[in-house]
Chains A and B, each alone.
Chain A
Amino acid sequence: MSASPVPPTPPPGPRSARPNVAVTLDGEEVLAFPGETVLALARRLGVPIPTLCQLDGVSVYGGCRLCVVEVEGEHRLPLACATEVSADMEVRSTSAELRDHRRRIVALLFAEGSHVCAACVASGACELQDLATETGVDHVPYELTFPSHEVDASHPFFVLDRDRCVLCTRCVRVCDEIEGAHVWDIAQRGSDARLIAGMDQPWGEVASCTSCGKCVAACPTGALYHQGTASGERRPDPGLIAFLADARAGVWEPRDNGAVSQPRDAAGPHEQGTTP
């Protein structure tokens, strides 16, 4: 996991160049920055493309497959998060077939985990719950597998509930690439794959964990949360990661933290207001 072949690159933006790559997005001619990904372009223009494993500030993973798009002349469906624009590219961000694929992928995630929104800390601020709404998953036509992994509450500040983990590896990448601690990784393969701390130890016993909480901030579901968080109380902060990555790259900009607040005066440390 550590030597990912796709290194994080600072997002191209107004500082680096002018948008001068002519691209057709959903039938409209638009200008993209050189090196901009299809996803970044779509977001800049307010075109919604669902994502899950993608996280600004860390490397591209390409595991959730939700951001598949159609590109004219390509027989495969490229990922918006991993595909850079090129001149005269014609991209369709949505189609009946893409909607079907995205809906099925989200349904698969619901079938795999134990995603009981009504009893989850993340309900109301969960990217998987939002994805179900966004992609139109109104039921799961597959066999619900009802996993029962152990909950790891050994850490003094945080909890890991693997039944809610979607294996997006945001925490793995954040801990490795931003914090440099590499506490997290995935063990086993296929449907046995699971998130592990350290050498598959209880999280609280992993000496390399700095308790920085960035993994908790980055988690899209209720798999990682602060101790003592009750149902519907979790407030993730994935934007923190891009902020830290930008700051390190020397493109510091004050954050608009208005929308982000911890649910309570957390006893544990968290990243808000700290300098990277």
Chain B
Amino acid sequence: MTTSSTRRPRVATAWLAGCSGCHMSFLDLDEALFDLAERADVVFGPLTDAKVFPTDVDLTLVEGAVTNTDNLELAQAIRANTRVVVSFGDCAVTGNITALRNALGDPSELLQRVYVEHPDLTGVVPTEVVPGLLPKVLPLHEVIGVDVYLPGCPPTADRIKTALFALLDAIEAGEDIASVAAARAPGDLRFGN
């Protein structure tokens, strides 16, 4: 997977079903954020104003699991417009906390209990504006192809930095992304915190 070396790499982040902790950890890059800004354009994510996922993105870090139709559509848009998709953090990689609902089975029972049986609410399951739930929370790679996995809850800023700049190097040099993942040190990945 290569990109044109004539322009700056375009980087995006995305926030699916997760707690945003991975993005907090991303902000902990601190001064390295200046290095990122120097090398790449951040074109989408909770940290930008863009509402629609742009085209021609080189690298997208996707935080969070896929739990509803909004997540699914965004994930598909990301895959269609991104060269290197990174499953960013444990929710994206395994489902993690977000997926704990899977052990409870079909979520319609849960919705019934919360919205219909609860005396203080309107007695109906909301269907407007809110996205539909998927029967099961899925890790990102279950709905789109993923190129690189960066586990951690959250991944530490150091690990994010290592992965991010190694990937940017590879993208700029037109190198194979799989070899970047293979070359990482064991300490660069860890589930949990």
A–B: direct contact at CB < 8 Å: yes
| Most central of A133, A139, A147, A148 by chain B CB within 10 Å | A139
B87 at the interface (CB under 8 A from A): yes
> Residue among A124, A134, A144 with the most chain B CB within 10 A?
A144
Please determine whether A117 and B149 come into contact, CB atoms closer than 8 angstroms: no
Binds A, one of B24-32, B67-75, B95-103, B125-133: B95-103
Interface residue? B46 (CB, 8 A): no
Which residues of A, 138-185, contact B by the 8 Å Cβ criterion?
138-141, 144, 146-148, 163
Residue count of chain B within 8 Å CB distance of chain A? 28
Q: What CA separation (Å) do A232 and B190 show in the bound complex?
A: 14
A51 interfacial contact with B, CB 8 Å: no
**A3 beta carbon closer than 8 Å to chain B:** no
B90 within 8 A of A: yes
Q: Known interface pairs A132-B190, A139-B139, A139-B151. Does A117 touch B90 (Cβ–Cβ under 8 Å)?
A: yes
Task: Check B87–A139 contact: CB distance below 8 A.
Answer: yes
How far is the CB of B104 from the nearest CB of chain A, in Å?
7
Hey, which chain B residues are within 8 Å of A147, CB to CB? 103
Tell me if B10 is interfacial: C-beta within 8 Å of chain A: no
Instruction: Judge whether A117 and B191 touch: CB under 8 Å.
Output: yes
List the B residue with the shortest CB-CB distance to A130: B190
Question: Do A136 and B189 touch across chains, with their CB atoms under 8 A apart?
Answer: yes
A117-B153, A139-B146 known; A133+B99 contact, CB < 8 A: no
Q: Which residues of A contact B87 (CB under 8 A)?
A: 139
Q: Which of B117-141 contact A (CB under 8 A)?
A: 136, 139, 141
A116 B96 Cβ-Cβ under 8 A: yes
Any chain B CB within 8 A of the CB of A259? no
Residues of B within 8 A of A123 (CB): 192-193
Chain A contacts of B190 at CB under 8 A?
Answer: 129, 132-133
B84 within 8 A of A: no
> For B90, what are the chain A residues with a Cβ–Cβ distance below 8 Å?
116-118
Residues of B within 8 A of A114 (CB): 100, 103
A193 within 8 A of B: no
Interface assignment of A110: CB less than 8 Å from any CB of chain B = yes
A227 to chain B, nearest CB (A): 22
Instruction: Give min CB distance, B151 to chain A, whole Å.
Output: 6
Partner of A116, one of B97, B186, B189: B97
Bound CA span A115–B104, Å: 16
A residues near B150, Cβ cutoff 8 Å: 138
Near B by CB (< 8 A), chain A positions 210-254 give 232
- Complex: chain B residue closest to A148, CB-CB: B103
In contact, A139 and B99 (Cβ under 8 angstroms) = no
CA distance A28 to B181 in the complex (A): 30
CB atoms of B103 and A140 under 8 A apart: no
How many angstroms between the C-alpha atoms of A123 and B192 in the bound complex? 7
**Range of interface residues on chain A?**
20 to 34
Cβ A124 vs Cβ B102 within 8 A: no
Interface hits, B64-123 → A, CB 8 Å? 87, 90, 93-97, 99-100, 102-104
Closest beta carbon of chain B to A142's beta carbon, Å: 11
Indicate if the CB atoms of A116 and B93 lie closer than 8 Å.
no
Q: Is the CB of A139 within 8 A of B141?
A: yes
State A116–B189 Cα separation when bound (angstroms).
15
Q: At the interface, yes or no: A119 with Cβ under 8 Å from chain B?
A: yes
Known contacts A118-B153, A136-B186, A139-B94; A129/B103 CB under 8 A:
no
- In chain B, residues 154-193, which have Cβ atoms closer than 8 Å to a Cβ of chain A? 181, 186-187, 189-193
B-side interface residues toward A, CB under 8 Å?
87, 90, 93-97, 99-100, 102-104, 136, 139, 141, 146, 149-151, 153, 181, 186-187, 189-193
10 closest Cβ contacts across the A-B interface? A117-B192, A118-B153, A148-B103, A138-B149, A146-B102, A139-B149, A117-B191, A123-B192, A146-B103, A133-B190
A-B contact pairs, 24 of them (CB 8 A): A114-B100, A115-B191, A116-B97, A116-B100, A117-B192, A118-B90, A119-B97, A120-B192, A123-B193, A124-B193, A129-B191, A133-B187, A133-B189, A133-B191, A134-B186, A136-B186, A138-B189, A139-B93, A139-B94, A140-B93, A144-B139, A146-B99, A146-B103, A148-B104
A residues with a Cβ closer than 8 A to B are 110, 114-120, 123-124, 129, 132-134, 136, 138-141, 144, 146-148, 163, 232
